[in-house]
Amino acid sequence: MAAARYVLALDQGTTGTTGILVDSDLAIRGRGYQEFPQIFPHPGWVEHDPEEIWRSTLNVIETTLQDAGAAGSEVAAIGITNQRETTMLWQRETLECLHNAIVWQCRRTSSMCDELREAGHADSFRRKTGLVLDPYFSGTKLRWLLDNVDGARERAQQGELAFGTVDSFLVARLTGGARHVTDVSNASRTLLMDLESLSWCDELLSILKIPRAVLPEIRGNSEVYGTTRGVPGLPDGIPIAGMAGDQQAALFGQACFGPGSAKCTYGTGAFLLLNTGERVVHSGNGLLSSVGWRIGEKVTYVLEGSVFIAGAAVQWLRDGLGLIDRAPEIEALAESVADSGGVVFVPALTGLGAPHWNMDARGLLCGLDRGVTKAHLARATLEGIAFQVHDVFAAMAEDMGAPLEQVRVDGGACRNDLLMQFQSDLLGDSVVRPRHIETTALGAAMLAGLAVGVWDGLEELQATWQEDRTFAPEMSREAAEEHLARWRRAIKLFSLDK
């Protein structure tokens, strides 16, 4: 690729959209970011306005190019990564959505999942998809839309409507409606795709009463899906050539290409993924099996543990309690005390994810006394994030039958040295932070660039990964176990009401 040619990566996340422009050395030449509002129509329900998502994407395309001093004509390819299970339903002709996007955090289909479990379907979903029956995933969200939006089911059956996760929606908009596709990583999070055949499963579609006519075509992660048409700031004809769900894109961006390599992304939630190579590993410890990526004919699978609330807990301290004015302030506040003063915070503000899967759990503060200050609460919040990640890490090691030697970290909260050091202390293993922590967007750029020949293969990409800092355990194992014992006592409180 000529020196003046770039790959544009669009990272459409839960609270905002990020863009980066990278060159052939994977140096970031430009960045853009725009937040958009969250919508909470009922307790436990979370939505986004699809038009806000699209406007933020267009804004980020413009600001990223401006930041780099580049023109749209210098973009060789576009890569997309996205908040995964968030579900959208739009009219094929106009590309207008029939309802707000239902966000992955939304719990509105909890009773539907209960009914499906009571009907004996849980094993079928687990066996076929590697997932658990939970409102987290897209399938029950789509069923809710078909059942609750007037005329949606009939129009879907007639082929007038298109379902998609955010990747599908963005491709449809970027191509002027010419393409309705998804990739294997996003499809593997819908409760609708067979993990072995990588195709939509008729048995599961029947159980959820979802017509095939509404579904996108499933594609790989590094190939040309379509080209731009009518996008402000970009010429027509730019290939959209890479696509992956945000967590799989982060694993790829961390150059975790070999079996046994792992990463944890600290964003709104925290997501730990372990590359299991070309075999599906079914967890006995509450973890999920998904597709990492498919490049050509080669498929890479992953084990995943999802922590629902990580950075969102810090946002709650800021917006809900007013303990800090800006999220980065939490580190200095937490460091102003030597420890949490015995306070344990379980940040189950929307339930507990892997490996506990307790959807009825809610946030819990233990160990309060008159000496507790906001600094202790700040420290307990960071520790609560690390405790949840520890539980996922331990479950992965048990499923693999071997300890994991290190984890690479990314996401905004990995800038917090206090959190990263405590994480390493709990794990008893190294935590490695890369120079570029925008690994989600980098992964999307890598996948797109591979498809159009910017890079020749994984070896070339592996050589570009650079370490910033390694956090090694400093706490004694005995002290770490004391912390973990307090955490386990707090977690057990949730089982007392059952």
Two tokens at 242?
């890479």
Given pLDDT bands bounded at 50, 70 and 90, which one contains residue 306? confident
Domain ranges (residues) in the chain: 6-247
Which residue has 């379980």 as its token pair? 346
* Mean pLDDT, the chain, integer: 92
How do residues 12-63 score in pLDDT, each as one tens digit? 998 899 999 999 889 999 999 999 999 999 988 999 999 999 999 999 999 9
> What is residue 390's predicted lDDT score, i.e. its pLDDT?
94
What whole-number percentage of the chain has pLDDT above 90? 79
Four-residue CA torsion sign, 367, 370, 374, 379: negative
Given pLDDT bands bounded at 50, 70 and 90, which one contains residue 4? very low
> What is residue 495's predicted lDDT score, i.e. its pLDDT?
64
Given pLDDT bands bounded at 50, 70 and 90, which one contains residue 3? very low
Residue 75 has pLDDT above 60, yes or no: yes
> What is residue 496's predicted lDDT score, i.e. its pLDDT?
53
Residue 422 has pLDDT above 80, yes or no: yes
Mean pLDDT for 451-476 is 91
Two tokens at 485?
């014992």
Phi and psi angles of residue 6, each rounded to the nearest 5 degrees, phi first: -135, 165
How do residues 277-292 score in pLDDT, each as one tens digit? 998 988 888 899 999 9
How do residues 348-384 score in pLDDT, each as one tens digit? 887 887 788 787 788 889 999 999 999 999 999 999 9
Please give the full DSSP string across 391-433, using - where no structure is assigned: HHHHHHHHHHTS---EEEEESGGGG-HHHHHHHHHHHTSEEEE
Cα distances from 335 to residues 321, 340, 375, 419, 481, in angstroms, run 19, 10, 8, 10, 21
Rounded to two decimals, the pTM is: 0.88
How do residues 125-151 score in pLDDT, each as one tens digit? 999 999 989 898 999 999 999 999 999
DSSP 73: G
Flag the least confident range among 228-232, 263-267, 434-438: 434-438
How do residues 347-357 score in pLDDT, each as one tens digit? 988 788 778 87
CA 113 to chain centre: 21
CATH of domain 6-247: 3.30.420.40
* Among candidate residues 96, 128, 126, 101, the one with its CA nearest the CA of residue 113: 126
Per-residue HEC secondary structure of 98-141 comes to: CCCEECCCCCCCHHHHHHHHHCCCHHHHHHHHCCCCCCCCHHHH
CB count in 10 Å sphere of residue 50:
22
Residue 436 has pLDDT above 90, yes or no: no
> What is residue 127's predicted lDDT score, i.e. its pLDDT?
92
> What is residue 76's predicted lDDT score, i.e. its pLDDT?
95
| Cα angle, residue 297 at apex, residues 296 and 298 outer, rounded to 5° | 95
